Amino acid sequence: MSTLPRPQNPETDPRVKAVFDDIKATRGNDFINNLWHYLAFDPTLLETIWRDVKSVMATPSSLDPMTKELIYAAVSIANSCEYCIHSHTAAAKAKGMTEEQYAEFLSIVSLAGRTNHLLNGIKVPVDQEFDHS
């Protein structure tokens, strides 16, 4: 159940069509996942979010594409966002993540969950040696 209906034929709005066309061109295929269909209810929101995702995730940069998806998926797990977990885990696979790397990714994420709770429980003071400010 969603809070919004999935818009029917959103591409009749030229602003939506322009974004959908750019998603297809950027990704090199015709698949438009649900996120973009739902955001089409408000073309401004659709344009804003796509501009961000394209700029941060779909542009060659100093981190490799798989690493970027793993960072994205890690945050999504901690925030319990089901859609984002699925989409970014799938994207990491598409960008080369092996099963061994996925197992290791899960080990790191869950170990972080463990020590985050442990340190937040004790409130250990931060070492001055970590200070770069």
Site string for a second copy, 64-103 (x = CB under 8 A): ---xx-xxxxxxxxxxxxxxxxxxxxx--x----xxxxxx
- What b/e string do you get for 108-121 counting C-beta neighbours within 10 Å, with b at 16 or more? eeeeeeeeeeeeee
Residue 24 binds a second copy (CB under 8 A): no
Cα–Cα distance measured from residue 87 to residue 114, given in angstroms and rounded to the nearest whole number: 25
Interface segment toward a second copy; rule CB under 8 A; list 7-15, 16-24, 46-54: 46-54
- Asked if 9 is part of the footprint of a second copy (rule: CB under 8 A), the reply reads no
21 binds a second copy (CB under 8 A): no
Q: What is the DSSP string of 51-85?
A: HHHHHHHSS--SS-HHHHHHHHHHHHHHTT-HHHH
Measured from the CB of residue 20, what is the shortest distance to a second copy in angstroms?
15
- 120 lies in the site for a second copy, by CB under 8 A: yes
